[in-house]
Amino acid sequence: MKKINTLIGVFLILNTLMLTKAQSPGGIAGAQLWYKGDAGIATAGSNVIGWSNSASTFYNLAQQGAGTTLPTSSQINFNPSVRFDGIDDRLATGSAIPQTVTTTASAPYTTSQYVVYRKLGSVMNPLYNHSDGSGGTWNVGSNSNGEMLVTNRKIITTAPALNETRLQSLNGTSNAATTYLNGSAISSTFINSTDTAGSARFWVGGEGTSINKFTNADIAEIVIYNTTQTAGRPQIESYLSLKYGITKSGNYVASNGTTNYWNAATNAGYLNNIAGIGKDDGSALYQKQSMSVNSGQQILIGLTGMANTNASNSGALTNQQFLVAGDNGLAKTPSVAINGIPGVNYRFGSVWKVQNTGSVGTVRVMWPQGLTNLKLVQNNSDPTFTTGNTATDMSANTQTINGVVYNYSDVSLADGQYFTLAAQIYAPGGVVNNLQVWNKADFGTNTTTESGPVTSWTNSAASGGQLQALSGFINHSASATYMNMGSNFNPAVRMVAGAGLGMLNAFSATATSSGTGGTFYSVSKAGAGGSPTVGYNVQMNVSAAPLNLSVISPYNFAEMGPYISNATTAGLFTWNTSIDRIIANLLNPSTNNILGWAYTTGVASTYPYKINGKSDIPASYTPPLFTGRNFHLNTDTDGGLERGGFDYQETIGYERQITSAEQNRIESYLAIKYGITLGTFTSPVDYTATNGTNVWSTAANSYQTNVIGIARDDIEGLHQRISKSQDLIADIITISTNNDFTSANKSTNHTDIVNDKFYFITGNNGAATTYNTQNMMNRIWKVQSTGFAQNLYIKTSDAQATHLIFADDAAMTTNVVNIPLTSGATPGIQIPNGKFFTFAKFSFCTKDPNTSPADTITKIGITIQTKQSGWPENIPNGAVALESKTKGFVITRTQSSLIANPVEGMLIYDTISKCMKLYNGTSWHCVVRSCN
């Protein structure tokens, strides 16, 4: 029996060793402690009450005291973790465990430790430790500030940012050890002298019983060896990195030690945001879906059975199958032009490279919904995607994962293949790169109810986000409201003084660095329905100010806006007061204005102000660095009172200085949309389409007053169906795509413009609206029409005009076309490119002239005089003769517009047009005696 018991014992030991070798972190046997969030968790209700050691049946953790440790609802790469609240949560072994579990028994003390966690709280506290729990000596341990410890000696990695997920590790002895962060060696410098705690409890989530020594973090996995793992460390870190979406340095190696499923040298240039799927039985790894845990939006790749958790994904892999992708680190927004793929115009700057090991088949590639015509673009050999592309639609497919709606496509990704995403992108002037802020009142407001409160305003830039209402912001308690009819038939958001909106993290993480460029535009009108506020009026701001600033704080860098002297005079300023142009008369704040600013922080230059296409150059100055990444509109972000009221129609912000050509395209877009003339009569400005086509030329420099247009340019979302000049001195014409001259531009009452890149632009010569001796108006308009023309309608407010006339020349002598007006408006007409037009007040005869009339007698006469011999017979060609020396014949005096039911032949004297008018069955016309 003794022999049998001995054999059974040997069998159990061997079996345990075999199991340990079969499933161990990275396939590296010998782990003494292995706590992982996807195994061994015991719960009671919503609380974690136990966490089993996956390395053996010993050293399991249990809940301590009244702490209520919770399973986190915020997973790490779709895998569970355990959340510790930083107040009283902790888990610990039930009794002391030997020092030899975490280190060797004698010096130099060896260990190899690994922890994956997400830092939540700002205070540094223990993640785990092997100690008596009272704040004394630790055998091993780790802190949430990046420290790792062995026998009381600590080595620092780097301090994590809030919400950063990382793999923190230490390998070595108490004499010589190195800390690693995500696989990269960080430091070998010890602090403190060697000391040991001997047998002690192992604590997770806090130091133990010490007051205020609890960590606020999500801990996903802890692995501890009592030996060094210099050779095995890459495999252990590969296992943890792939599982939790952590980008580690170097190769990713499977548990067999030979399968290199992500080769850093082969994939050089694509070592950012690495994530992938794989099955490795030796590590108990079965990752079915993955997304890099790095900050910013990341690609999501997985088997086609995507779910809210990795464990719930219904897809399947076989052992040693892996598919991993890394990107080139460029922007994950559409920022690079791409050709040859219908329905898209820009691809992401980010390009991913794939390593497919073991022939992984169909996978699902996902990106958050929001981009138009989103497509996955694959290429076997060309990472520039110039030729050889295969495009797969993603926009038609949606799936919700953890509350986020994704577009996706199911494809096969070959080993060594490149892929990116492409979409149809809209941007002002077609200028896409580095567009961070684009809020336009005709899209994205939470309400379109007249005077309704605007509490959110979606950013139309590909970077996403939204302007949000301020809450408890000092001196900013008013609300923004919606206006359906602002300038040029387009809506606006009205912000009285004290109303403001803010967008958090609108700019990149590097926006606070020196050398950050920027360009801003606003389209606005001061006063918000009342008188403009005199003084500094902050419009736009980049700073660290939150949405709820409660006390005055120095967050006011990067303020931009007008300085208003009075209702008709204003200058401009930026946040460096030494170069304010506040005493210059640069604009009339009571009219709509396109205002622009440009800068590069930390670099001295003469950065121009832009006012309706004109440039004002101040003295050279050095813009200070930003204090943060947040964007505010109409907000004095230090909490002061330098804020006024404005009706905002559009705001634009780039994180770079755009070129002069790009400025012109953006300003052209804004000018056409909002009916604002660029430049001046003496200093005209070209208008340019998104493709660089000149759509209004300064060659027409005698016709630079009241420039307006009807236009459609899809890449910038321009579809202006109705337009009237909004300049200080208004024009007398309105142009529309149909006979509706009052409805809002977005109204379905208007006919759509059929073709992209159609522009009909016109401006006048600035002359008076009086008439010359030929009864033609002195004011003349010139037309520049681009693209496939369609019928347009033109209405004048001049009551005398009876015709619109267009011709090849301004004198109206060559190829003249007369268009009769009805109620001041033309029917649908097409005025060709290069033509001139004006209005005329023509009189109309009642019938065609008789060129050879035969004399006939007038048979009827009415007179108050003495009857003369032969009268009225001596009046030739008459029907009825009326005669008086002292009396006048009065016909009905009224306005033609007041006749409710005119009939053909009706005659009146029109008191407005100052003429006799005849109704010919369709319209009223002034009459003359004959057309001879």
Tens digits of residue pLDDT in 244-293: 999 999 999 999 999 999 999 999 999 999 999 999 999 999 999 999 99
Which of 373-382, 653-662, 758-767, 900-909 bottoms out in mean pLDDT, i.e. has the lowest?
900-909
What does the alpha-carbon distance between residue 476 and residue 494 come to, in Å, rounded to a whole number? Answer: 14
Tens digits of residue pLDDT in 619-633: 898 998 999 999 999
Tens digits of residue pLDDT in 810-857: 999 999 999 999 999 999 999 999 999 999 998 655 555 555 656 777
For residue 759, give Cα distances in angstroms to 391, 438, 723. Answer: 32, 23, 12
pLDDT (0 to 100) of residue 533: 95
Nearest partner of 560 among 472, 437, 473, judged by Cα: 437
- The residue behind tokens 């050709």 is 339
- Percent of the residues in the chain that have a pLDDT greater than 90, as a whole number: 76
What does the alpha-carbon distance between residue 811 and residue 813 come to, in Å, rounded to a whole number? Answer: 6
Tens digits of residue pLDDT in 191-250: 999 999 999 999 999 998 887 789 999 999 999 999 999 999 999 999 999 999 999 999
Please check whether residue 696 is in contact with residue 672, taking contact to mean a CB–CB distance below 8 angstroms. Answer: no
Residue type, 120: L
- For the record, the structure tokens of 34 come out as 């292995």
pLDDT (0 to 100) of residue 579: 72
- For the record, the structure tokens of 118 come out as 């997400």
pLDDT (0 to 100) of residue 68: 61
pLDDT (0 to 100) of residue 391: 98
What does the alpha-carbon distance between residue 685 and residue 614 come to, in Å, rounded to a whole number? Answer: 8
Q: Which residues contact 869 (CB under 8 A, 6 or more apart)?
A: none
User: Region 147-171: what's the mean pLDDT?
Assistant: 96
User: Region 643-665: what's the mean pLDDT?
Assistant: 97
Please check whether residue 457 is in contact with residue 492, taking contact to mean a CB–CB distance below 8 angstroms. Answer: no
Computed on alpha carbons and rounded to an integer, the radius of gyration of the chain in Å comes to: 39
Q: For the CA atoms of 920, 923, 926, 931, what is the dihedral angle to 10 degrees?
A: -50
Q: For the CA atoms of 871, 874, 879, 880, what is the dihedral angle to 10 degrees?
A: -30
Q: Which residues contact 876 (CB under 8 A, 6 or more apart)?
A: 855, 856, 857, 858
Please check whether residue 891 is in contact with residue 908, taking contact to mean a CB–CB distance below 8 angstroms. Answer: yes
pLDDT (0 to 100) of residue 850: 56
My answer on whether omega of the bond before 623 falls inside 30° of 0, hence cis, is no
Tens digits of residue pLDDT in 576-586: 766 778 888 89
User: Region 888-894: what's the mean pLDDT?
Assistant: 85
- For the record, the structure tokens of 471 come out as 């809450």
What does the alpha-carbon distance between residue 698 and residue 684 come to, in Å, rounded to a whole number? Answer: 6
Helix (H, G, I), strand (E, B) or coil at 487: helix
DSSP string, 377-439: EEESS-TT-SSS-EEEE-TT-EEEETTEEEEEEEEE--TT-EEEEEEE---GGG--TTEEEEE
- For the record, the structure tokens of 788 come out as 């496939």
User: Region 321-328: what's the mean pLDDT?
Assistant: 99
Tens digits of residue pLDDT in 106-121: 999 999 999 999 999 8
Reply yes or no on whether the pLDDT at 493 is more than 50.
yes
Tell how far CA 243 is from the center of its chain: 32
Extract the runs of DSSP E, i.e. beta strands, from 416-516: 418-424, 435-440, 453-454, 456-458, 466-469, 480-483, 492-495, 501-503
pLDDT (0 to 100) of residue 74: 67
Q: Give the strand pairing for 924-926 and 915-919.
A: antiparallel
Alpha helices in 637-684 (DSSP H): 660-674
Reply yes or no on whether the pLDDT at 718 is more than 70.
yes
Nearest partner of 811 among 863, 758, 869, 772, judged by Cα: 772
Return left, alpha or beta for 412; rule: phi > 0 is left, psi -120 to 50 is alpha, else beta.
beta
What phi and psi, each to the nearest 5 degrees, are found at residue 56? -160, -175
Residue type, 894: T
pLDDT band at 392 (very low <50, low <70, confident <90, very high): very high
